[in-house]
Homo-oligomer: A and B are copies of this chain.
């Protein structure tokens, strides 16, 4: 019964590792305990429930993505910023599929911390859109389109939805190009 020296942080790091390598749905208490070398009930000395752990992944996912995207869009604007945002998001999802999946969980189950982290990301995206002159309600509608198309593309790609042989990288660049083109047109509201 030698102590394993566990700690909330150690448990969460293991959770991230499992979610990223085997998928968020494979993150179970049993697997977590196995990886950490303890029996399942021991984990409850450090965590409240598996759902809480998953919610923490949601928060961590948004924060890590925010961190990466902030760096990527720093100092650029317009099309370059849009590309930076898109590519950093797609790359994040490939590097951390488990964390990405956690950020896409239904909002209903989110904690305040997750909500706040997601809001911070939203603010960053809004800043990118300001480079296209979008403000007010138009900016909200535009950002919903941006979020939707990026999320949909990434989920489809990770879910094996793009089975045809055509290069998916080219498809993603097409998406960014189309978004850029459409945003430019919106820029000048129907005068």
Contacts and interface: CB of A to CB of B under 8 A. Distances in A.
Interface of A: 104-108, 137, 140-142, 144-145, 147-153, 155-156, 159-164, 166, 168, 170-171, 174-175, 177-179, 181-183, 185-186
B155 A155 contact: yes
Given A140-B166, A152-B147, A156-B144, A178 B171 contact: no
Contact of A107 (B105, B160, B174, B179): B160
A171 B140 contact: yes
A121 to B, nearest CB: 12
Chain A contact residues, majority secondary structure = helix
A79 to B, nearest CB: 13
Nearest to A182: B178
Contacts of A148: 149, 152-153, 156, 175
16 contacts: A104-B159, A107-B159, A107-B161, A137-B166, A141-B174, A144-B153, A144-B168, A145-B175, A147-B156, A148-B175, A149-B152, A149-B175, A151-B155, A155-B155, A178-B182, A178-B185
A150 B155 CA distance: 12
A137 B167 CA distance: 9
Nearest to A118: B161
Nearest to A180: B182
A79 B15 CA distance: 46
A110 to B, nearest CB: 9
A41 B129 CA distance: 55
B141 A151 contact: no
